[in-house]
Structure 1
């Protein structure tokens, strides 16, 4: 009996000792902030403006540091060299994802491509997405972008106080046209509102402390929902989100069978579904992932650009002067003007650097096997973060980094994708689109949407701060106030938008009225005939 009790106490002691090891930083791992038993560094994770804390840790612990988050490890890359070496050059080992129970399993039913683990399934779906968004396909979408841009400018002219909604409709309508074959003609579209509300809810759920604990301590998942209401919120979000995405996909699928759909991604995905046998839920989330990415990031970047025009009027004047010299006063810029407008192209690069929407790299990569770098051990299954804010704000790369200065990029003639692939990483313009095999596939489409949005907005309008009605002083937004979540943007601000002159106002009116009359159905406001003849999604 005494021997049995002794063995029992020994087992209890060993279990207790093992629990105490949780949260400890093993020898040989990259340095990082001090840990405490069980939690590791979880208690130090900020609930707001996490990018600033991650930047401070980089300054304290170096370009590669580690955070111990309960049972998981996060390696944070805060230099361009580290991102290039690991996420790009060693991408075969750095393209996985850690398990994200709240974000992927509960919020997404294990269907969201962004959070899907690296493997045959992900590679197949990524190939489909690449076919929709590669450089050749991106060029064919320019007529879609031009039409939506014309409506955006017209709405800015008519209702300048709603410019955020105008920008969001622009990016959403472009994306729905490419993916589903139909456009969003008005911001009041209930499904578009649900999409943007869903973004906010997704961010709110996943950045809570409870979500982190459930992710990092799997044992907690066995507790009922009334004890952990975050789980209930995540399941409810998935239910509504799946209904939205499935509705979009089944509508497109029905239009395919009836022969009424316009050329779009879903046509090719329907062919791939017949071949590979994935179900409608997965198809809905593949197309939904594209809808998310195209709708949110482009609109957030354009919103940041407008803020920069308020805060840096000298930049606005220089950009307008370049357009006036190259384009003249009788028309607005087109994609054909891009190569002759280097300062406008630089404005796009600088906005992505100055206000990165994926401020902490969106979702961390993960290793499939153990590795070493700079003498440190990087364990198998570790999360690996692209610390976008710290790299974009590195003063050795960009002196006075919080100043919006497009001239930094004036001699960079590479496209965004070419810059991301540059062997000399010190010459890469910014890191907002990610790196390696997980780099954002929409980079080619986004670059054109940003150029058209920025060039045509400042060609047609002046952007000025509103004035305090009592003092007459300009009310300027704080350039360091951001929304929170996976994708962020400046906190909402007010702006005075006026046509540069009556001729510009007339150009904006005329362009939209002509496009509306010649290209769109007068009742549905959908394309009468698509300018895109075919979207090839998968040839294999």
Structure 2
């Protein structure tokens, strides 16, 4: 999946800009040959995962539909796309969050103060959701500050429309400029500052906010807009909350020091990878455990999680408690 994403990032913009290139044979367009190779590997992966689970259903007690309505290939790709979309975007947002903590250490300190007051030496979990408003605000600000994608998923209008001076014909493609909306100083003053206090009084989930009839009051547009928004936003909210709360509970995110000058290295927040994904380029940071006991807690959690994985397939044998609560 990583190779596929890298390939998309490198080629999608060029092929969209010059669509005629799509018709070139593979020997004239090496990226096409590579894309076909990755597609075959991806198809094998998704198909294997899907058929494995289909077999488990057939052998178990779950009631199957009389007619599936999809071929195995289509069903496998639908399942695989959900897996790919959820894992990569969450990882991208968390990398952006780590960078924000390095650039804005005062935010990390404020978040850790709340975590220490509420959780102490106990690792936070989803039961702490209502008790950690600053962490929830950090999660929302992470989605705004480094949203994972610069642009939203393409949609098409079902009828002619007019917006301002623009005529939008039926079937025209429309795309939300997520980055532009999130960086609009009229919506978010000083937009490049990572400031969770923007959301400190916002108790709505991403889904509830997206359902608001007033788009100007939405928290962010990471999950799209309209009727075909991301269906996993409720899972993403909880996953990001869990990840952020546990990362800040367990670790300090410090700036690296230049060995020649002795000065702290502050990452450039606007130095991102080329392509569609708003992902910071590699940056230096010093990540250290906050205490020996918390470091041991992380090791214990990893050991417990490892027992839940099948040693051969590395798939879950049973759903972990944290994930079960988030679904």
Give the number of the structure with larger relative contact order, counting CA–CA contacts within 8 Å between residues 6 or more apart: 1
Partner Cα separation in structure 2 for residue 246 and residue 527 of structure 1: 17
Aligned ranges 1:331-480 → 2 under 5 Å: 331-361=122-152, 363-480=153-270
Cα-to-partner distance string for 1:116-153 (whole Å, 9 max, x where unaligned): xxxxxxxxxxxxxxxxxxxxxxxxxxxxxxxxxxxxxx
Q: Secondary structure at the match of 2:174?
A: strand
Which sits farther off after the overlay, 312-321 or 367-376?
Answer: 367-376
Q: Secondary structure at the match of 1:436?
A: coil
Cα 1:369–1:354 shift into 2, 3 Å: same
RMSD: 2.6
Q: CA deviation at 1:227?
A: 3.9
Cα-to-partner distance string for 1:239-267 (whole Å, 9 max, x where unaligned): 232222222222323333444xxx9xxx7
- 1:162 alignment counterpart: none
Structure 2 residue corresponding to 1:279, chosen from 71, 92, 98: 71
Aligned ranges 1:105-504 → 2 under 5 Å: 195-208=1-14, 210-214=15-19, 217=20, 223-259=24-60, 271-272=64-65, 274-328=66-120, 330-361=121-152, 363-504=153-294
- So what's the TM-score if we normalise by structure 2? 0.89
Cα-to-partner distance string for 1:434-487 (whole Å, 9 max, x where unaligned): 101221111000011100000011111111122122222222211011123333
Cα 1:411–1:281 shift into 2, 3 Å: same
Q: Is the 8 A contact 1:433 1:439 kept in 2?
A: yes
Cα 1:512–1:414 shift into 2, 3 Å: same
Partner Cα separation in structure 1 for residue 317 and residue 80 of structure 2: 25
Number of matched pairs: 322
Cα 1:527–1:248 shift into 2, 3 Å: closer
Q: CA deviation at 1:223?
A: 4.9
Q: Is the 8 A contact 2:157 2:171 kept in 1?
A: yes
Q: Secondary structure at the match of 1:438?
A: coil
Q: CA deviation at 1:348?
A: 0.5
| Structure 2 gaps, min length 5 | none
Q: Is the 8 A contact 1:205 1:234 kept in 2?
A: no
| Structure 1 gaps, min length 5 | 1-194, 536-540
Cα 1:449–1:416 shift into 2, 3 Å: same
Q: Is the 8 A contact 2:253 2:286 kept in 1?
A: yes
- So what's the TM-score if we normalise by structure 1? 0.55
Q: CA deviation at 1:516?
A: 4.9
Partner Cα separation in structure 1 for residue 32 and residue 317 of structure 2: 45
Partner Cα separation in structure 1 for residue 144 and residue 269 of structure 2: 13
Q: Secondary structure at the match of 1:464?
A: strand
Cα-to-partner distance string for 1:299-320 (whole Å, 9 max, x where unaligned): 1111111111100000000000
Aligned ranges 1:62-141 → 2 under 5 Å: none
Cα 1:524–1:227 shift into 2, 3 Å: closer
Q: Secondary structure at the match of 1:467?
A: coil
Larger of the two Rg values belongs to structure: 1
Cα 1:515–1:235 shift into 2, 3 Å: closer
Cα 1:516–1:202 shift into 2, 3 Å: closer
Partner Cα separation in structure 2 for residue 494 and residue 257 of structure 1: 49
Q: Is the 8 A contact 2:96 2:280 kept in 1?
A: yes
